[in-house]
Structures are given as C-alpha cells and as structure tokens.
Chain A
C-alpha cells in the first residue's frame, strides 16, 4: 500500500486524514534529516514504509513458543478429556442417539467391570500383549542391527534403503490373506503381520538416528586410538541410543494398531477378537470399554518409553 492511496482513503474521515498528513510530514522530515547526515554514495531512496514493532504483553496462550503457566497446562490437559466426556453425556441425555449406538458412560463402565470380574479382560489383554511382545520384539531384533549397518556403512545404505523404502509402503494388513495361506490361521500369521507392519519403519528411523552421529566425533575417536569396532560400540551406539528409543516409541503405537487388526481376522483370544464378538451382538458398551482399555494401555506404554528416553538421553541438550 503506497502512502498516497492510504492518504486518499483516509481523507473521508478528517481525523484519519490529519494523522496521515502528520505521517507524511514526519517521513519528509526523516528523509531531509537522513540527507543532511549522509555524505556517502548511497542513492536518495525514499524512506522504507514503517512497520509497528511487536505489541508487548500478548497472552502466553497466543505467543509463539512461550511456556504457559503450569496451572494452565494441567487445566488444558484435563479439558482435553473432560470436554469429549461432556459431549458424550450430553448426547446421551438429549436422547438423540439410541443407547444401542452410543452407550452411556455408566453402561460402558459396567461392561468393563463385568469383563474384569469374569477374568476374560485379562486373558485377552495377555494374549494381545504376548503377540505385541513377540512380533514387535522380533522387529526390534532385526531393525536395530540393520539400522546400524545402514546408518554406518554407505554400502549398507545403498543396498537396503531403496528396497525398504518401497516395502514400507505396502500395507501390512494387505499381507494378512497371504500370510494366512503361508502360515495358517494360528499365532505365526498374526505375529508376522505385526512384524511386517513395524520392521521397515523402525529400520529406517534407526538408520536416521545413527546417521545423526557427528562426523567429528568419529574423527576425534580415531585420533584417540580407537579402532573401527570400538568407535561403533563406544561412540556410534551410545550417541544414537536416545534416537533409537524414540523410533521404538513411535512404532510401538503402530504395533498395537496391527495386532488388533490381525485379531479382527481370526483369533481365539485377544482384544481385537473381543471387539469383533461384541459387534456381532451389537454390544457397543463392550466395544467402547475395550477401546478405552487399548487407549489407556497405549498411554502407559508411551509414558514408560518417554521416561526411559529422558533417563537414557539426559545428556542431550
């Protein structure tokens, strides 16, 4: 916007026009002053349009990258759970949605208690957890050494990265029919889905963490007398460890997704199976209860891995 059309528009209101005129005079004065002071070779540019400085005292809620008070932090975190719960209760109270589709929180809680009392919740939980431990455990067992090789040796990167980058895009759930043909309907096919769903992502993320080890640390280690194997063991692995835990935390969530999907297809026990059964009898209260259990479990795993990460990586700035 040039000064002239700003002035033209402001002319409709006299006070605004006065202000604009004052600005113009001020600009002229600045230019005159600048010309007086300056003796060098710079051309006579007109002054740059002026810009007001940042307004102080904006609320921390709307300031970029500004810590908010602890009280606010807890209030907001609580609100993120309380508000959906309120919407849920309100919808139930209004009666616009049939309880068959949206059970009341009380019904969900009752269903949960019933599942705990009968013991089926824990046997299902254990069956599912076992699969995650096995499938995701195998994925970690493969992806850690493979990621280290890819992040350390250029040859390893050239050999594995293209094929893994492609395999990563194949949805693991699409492998389920094939895996059932190959491995049957039992445990191995479910563990294999989990493994395929997590191993490629985990490998690439670990390779990235390993590649983040600064070159200068490797160089300085050689000048201190370290051999290649010692550099790998005493420099690369400890430096990349927090990044590896981060990768594992992200992919643990994916592991839970895949195990439930695998159990939806065919299983004799597990949380996914229980959800499938409940659907057959339109027991939405049980489905809700199971979803909440899975969510809470995810939260617990996430917090546990976060704690581990901050313990192992407390040296990181």
Chain B
C-alpha cells in the first residue's frame, strides 16, 4: 500500500475571498509507516487529513491510494477526530460495531473482532457504557477502536490527544504505539505537539504556514521499540529542539508576512 499526494493544493473561498490553505504538497506514505505532521495553527494540518479522508476535494493535484485516485470517503481510510465524534446513543460496544454492521459478516465473527479491539484499547470493562459516562481519554480509545475494526489501509488521526491532560496523553501515546505494532496498520497523525510527533513518528513532516507547504520531512532516528524514557535521551531532546525551532521559524515567517501585507 502506498498513499501518495502529488502537488496537492486546496483553496477556500469565504465571502468571495479565496485563500490557499495548502500548496504543492508532495507526500509518500508506505505500508506500516507511522508519519506525524506538525505545524503551527493555520498550516492546514487538518485540511490535509480531510483531503486524504476524501471529505473535501483538492483544488489541484492528485491523491492516490495504491494507484487509485481518492474521490470520496471510505472505510479504507479511517479517521479519528480530536473530540472523538462518538455516537452518543450507542454504547462503547455499539460504537465500535458501527462499521462492521454495514458489512455482511456473521454475528459471531463480528463479536470476535469487536472483543479483540475492545481488549486491545483497554475498553473491555466499559463495553456497556454510554459515551457521556466516559473520560476524554476513554472516548478517544473508542474512536480509535471504531476506526481500526474496519481495518483501514491508513489510520488518520487529527490531533487525537490534543484535548487530554498530560498524563492521559502519555498513556495514549504508549497505547497507539502498541496498537501500531500489534496491528501493523499505517498511521498518519496530525499534531501540534512536537514531542509527541518525535516520540510516535518514524517520520515527522513539518508544515509551513500560509499557505501550508512541506517545510521539512525528517526521519526520526530512534529505536523502533520506544518507551516514555526515550523522551529524556539526548538524541530525542536534540531532535525535538531542532524540529521545534523549525516550527517556530515557519510560524514567525508567517507572522512577518501577514504583518507586511498590512
């Protein structure tokens, strides 16, 4: 599987005024990759995921999955929103079951798969709970399990841990790392947290702002087996610092430009 973006651009028109959110994006993601996209706000990170998910169409360029052009949303590209977007009337189990209910597979097989993913995300004891009874971290686990049970070619995560407290966030980082290893799924994750990107990603893509462009594509040269202690390793700290500088630079450049226009 390869997800390929070629010269992708996206314009938004608000009250007759057209702004370019993304410009000339080239990106290749291979099966099993874990790629993190970082960038300051306004760099079009979320737009990028929305385009890949097929929820919006690119103004220019082409997105292909295994050579087939992406023309709309589908279960081969699972998406997890920042606030989960769970079905509030369905239980945890019911939420995870949604995608499988649309397919003609027998009940026992469906239950077996749901059980596995509930177990993997540590939700077994909460299967009968409603979303309103869950904490923020638990909601995100359900959203991740619900996307994964459809076995997407690529899992798209849109700042999934952005609204969580620091401890929960670290638990979730360890969890998503383990899920990635266990399932061999491909992950493309957008975040504004550089530490998170370096900890999770095999590659970190830095987006520049206004319009969003790929400013850097950095390979994270850390061991594949990572635990939270790696965040204190000198090579982690220096990589994180240099990427943070890059993001800050892009952000400042963006501010300088918008001041110059006035």
Q: Which residue numbers of A lie inside 8 Å of B, CB to CB?
A: 214, 216-217, 219-226, 230, 234-235, 238-239, 314-317
Cα A239 to Cα B77 with chains together (Å)? 24
A260 nearest CB across to chain B (Å)? 37
How would you classify the secondary structure of chain A's contact residues: helix, strand, loop or mixed? helix
B89 touches A223 (CB 8 A): no
Known: A223-B75, A225-B150, A315-B132. 6 other contacts (CB 8 A): A217-B87, A230-B102, A234-B98, A315-B89, A315-B90, A315-B130
- Known contacts A217-B87, A316-B88, A223 near B103 by CB under 8 Å: no
A220 touches B85 (CB 8 A): yes
A224 touches B132 (CB 8 A): no
- Give chain A residues whose Cβ lies under 8 Å from the Cβ of B99: 224-225
B85 touches A214 (CB 8 A): yes
- Identify the closest chain A residue to B89 (Cβ): A315
B172 nearest CB across to chain A (Å)? 18
Cα A33 to Cα B51 with chains together (Å)? 57
**Contact count A vs B, C-beta below 8 Å:** 68
- Give chain A residues whose Cβ lies under 8 Å from the Cβ of B130: 314-315
Q: Which residue of the partner chain, among B53, B90, B101, B132, contacts A223 with CB atoms under 8 Å? A: B53
- Give chain A residues whose Cβ lies under 8 Å from the Cβ of B81: 216, 219-220
B89 touches A238 (CB 8 A): yes
B132 touches A221 (CB 8 A): no
B73 touches A223 (CB 8 A): yes
- Known contacts A219-B55, A219-B73, A224 near B78 by CB under 8 Å: yes
A225 touches B132 (CB 8 A): no
Cα A180 to Cα B90 with chains together (Å)? 49
B98 touches A224 (CB 8 A): yes
Cα A167 to Cα B146 with chains together (Å)? 45
Is there a chain A Cβ closer than 8 Å to B214's Cβ?
Answer: no
- Can you list 18 A-B pairs with a CB-CB distance of less than 8 A? A214-B85, A220-B79, A220-B81, A222-B72, A222-B74, A223-B75, A224-B102, A224-B146, A224-B147, A225-B75, A226-B102, A234-B98, A238-B87, A238-B89, A315-B88, A315-B132, A316-B132, A317-B132
- Identify the closest chain A residue to B56 (Cβ): A219
- Give chain B residues whose Cβ lies under 8 Å from the Cβ of A217: 85, 87
